[in-house]
Amino acid sequence: HLDVIEQAEPSIHAFLQIAGEQAREQADAFDALSADDKQALPELAGVPIAIKDMIVTKGIETTAASKILQGWIPPYDATVIERLKAAHMPILGKTNLDEFAQGSSTEHSAYGPTRNPWDTARVPGGSGGGSASAVAAFEAPLALGTDTGGSIRQPGALTGTVGVKPTYGGVSRYGAIAMASSLDQIGPVTRTVLDSALLQEIIGGHDPKDSTSIPAPARPMAAAAREGATRDLKGMKVGLIKEIGGEGFQPGVEARFREAVAQLEAMGAEVVEVSCPHFPYALGAYYIIMPSEVSSNLARYDGMRYGLRVMPPAGVPQTAANMMAYTREAGFGDEVKRRIILGTYALSAGYYDAWYGSAQKVRTLIIEDFNRAFEQVDVLVSPTSPSTAFKFGEKMDDPMSMYMNDIATIPANLAGVPALSIPAGLSDDGLPTGIQFIAPQQRDEVMYKPAAALE
C-alpha cells in the first residue's frame, strides 16, 4: 500500500501525512507474532488503515487540515487508534479533509483539495474526501472518517466506497477533534460492507473516557453482514423516505436508487413508503445547531495551547487578546470563520431562543419522525447524495448549494441513529451513486444485513 500511495498521491492527494516508517514497524511487529497470538486477534489484524486527520494520533502531526494546528504533534492517541493498535493494524497516515470537517468537497482544506480517482477534475465529496479517495484509489484497504452531517457517507457515494456513521455514542469520540459534539461520530470507510462491520466491531463499544459513550459492547455487525450475504431478505420491512428525493436530485441518482430498491424486493424484502414530515426542516436546523457547537468548540484555538501563534505587528499593543485575534485571523479559513460567526450570532443573548432554541425543537420533531417510522419498518432507505461528484470550483462561491449536498444525510446525525452508504451503481454520467440505509438507535446490525445483501 505504501507503494500504491507513492504512485497515486501526485494525482490524488488523499494524504496530509504518510507514516511509512511507523507503519512498516507495526507490520513487522504483526508478522513476528506467533500463529496462536495472531489467531487470538480480530480478523482485520495486520490490515493497514488510513486515518482522517480529524482524529489524534500520538507522534503523527494532526492538523484537521487547518493552518491553526500546523505542527501540532499530539501527545496521546484517540481511543479508536489505541484499539486499532491493539488489533495490530498498521497506520498508513493521515488523510485530507475540509478544514475542521466543515464542507462537502474537501476544497476547504488549507493544504489543497483531494481529487476523485474516478475523474480527477472532480471532487471526492467531503469533508472526508481524503479517506474516501484513499480507499477508492486502493491506497488503503480501510480508513476511518468522522461524520457530523454526512462526511463519511456523502464521500462514500461520490467515490464508490462504503461509509458508515455508527449510532451516536457507539464509537468513542475521545481524541476526535470536536466539530459539533452532539452530532460527531467516528466510523469506517471501506470497500465492502463486511469490512466496515469488522472494523466497527474493533473501534466500537464502551469507553469511559467519552461521557457520551454507550455502556454496552459493539453490536454483532459482522454476523449480520454475513447473514445478508446469503441474499435472503424475507421478513424484512424496508421504508422509502417520501421526503428525500425528487426536486434537486439527479435523475441518474434516482434511477440507480429505484433499481437498488427493486433488488431488495426481489430478495424478499417488503418495501413501503414512509413519511417523515419534518425532514424538510433538518438542513435548516443543522445549519443552526452545528455552527453553534462549532463556535464553542473552536474557541480553544487561541494561540496559547496548540500549533500556530501570530503576534500582533509592531505598533499594535502586544496583548493576549490581540495575539488571539491575529492568530485566529491567520489560522482559520473562510468557511470556518463563516460558521464561527453564524454560531456566535445564533447563541447570542436575545437571539438564542429564536434560533438555537427553535432548531433544537425541530431536532426533537425529527427524532419523533424516526421513532414513528421505525414502528412501521425495520430499516429506512434513501439516495445518499443528490448528485454524483461535481467539478472543482462549481459550488465554492455558493455555500447554500454546497450545504444542499447534505440533505439526505443530516437527519441521521440530528437523531443519533446509525446510517451507512454503499455504492448503487454508476449514474448516466459514468460516476458512482450511493444508497443509504438507516437503522434504529443502537441497532446498527439491522442496516448491515440488507446492505450486504445488495452489495
- Catalytic residue numbers read 52, 127, 151
Peptide bond connecting 127 to the previous residue in cis, omega within 30 degrees of 0: yes
Q: Are strands 162-165 and 186-190 parallel, antiparallel or unpaired?
A: antiparallel
Cβ contact 163:187 at 8 Å? yes
SS3 content of the chain, % helix, strand, coil (to 5): 40, 15, 45
Q: Are 44 and 87 in contact (CB under 8 A)?
A: yes
In the complex, minimum distance from the CB of residue 102 to ligand GLN, in angstroms, rounded to a whole number? 5
Cα dist. 336→73, 88, 302, 359 in Å?
Answer: 22, 36, 14, 20
Q: Determine how β-strand 237-241 pairs with β-strand 270-274.
A: parallel
Minimum CB separation of residue 46 from ligand GLN in Å reads 30
Sign of CA dihedral 84, 85, 89, 91: positive
To ligand GLN, the closest distance from the beta carbon of 315 in angstroms equals 38
Please provide the DSSP assignment of 192-255 as one string.
SHHHHHHHHHHHBS--TTSTTS-SSPPP-HHHHHHHHTT---TT-EEEEETTSSSTTS-HHHHH
C-alpha cell at 228: 445478508
Please name the helix (run of DSSP H) or strand (run of DSSP E) that holds residue 403, with its range, or none.
helix 399-403
CB of 104 to ligand GLN, least distance (A): 4
Minimum gap (Å) between residue 181 Cβ and ligand GLN: 12
Interaction site with ligand GLN (CB under 6 A) = 101-104, 127, 146-151, 179, 290, 406
Q: Which is nearer to ligand GLN, 149 or 450 (by Cβ)? A: 149
| Nearer to ligand GLN among residue 263 and residue 296 (C-beta) | 296
Closer CB to ligand GLN, 52 or 278, in the complex:
52
- Rounded to an integer, what distance in angstroms lies between the CA atom of residue 10 and that of residue 455? 31
Residue 123's contacts (CB-CB under 8 Å, 6 or more residues apart) are: 105, 106, 107, 113, 114, 115, 116, 129, 158, 389, 390, 391, 392
Nearest distance from residue 128's CB to ligand GLN, in Å?
A: 7
Between helix 20-31 and helix 2-12 the angle, nearest 10°, is 150
Q: Give the residue with the Cβ less far from ligand GLN, 36 or 397.
A: 397
C-beta of 116 vs 127, nearer to ligand GLN:
127
Q: Which one, 1 or 122, has the nearer CB to ligand GLN?
A: 122
Q: How far is the CB of 52 from ligand GLN (least distance, A)?
A: 10
Quick one: 104 or 427, whose CB is closer to ligand GLN?
104
Q: In this structure, what C-alpha cell is assigned to residue 316?
A: 499594535
Q: Which residue lies nearer to ligand GLN by CB, 147 or 243?
A: 147
Give the shortest CB-334-to-ligand GLN separation in angstroms.
Answer: 13
Residue 186 contacts residue 203 (beta carbons within 8 Å) = yes
Q: Which residue minimizes CB distance to ligand GLN?
A: 151
Order of strands, edge to edge, in the sheet holding 15-18? 15-18, 91-95, 49-52, 142-146, 186-190, 162-165, 419-426, 432-438, 379-383, 237-241, 270-274
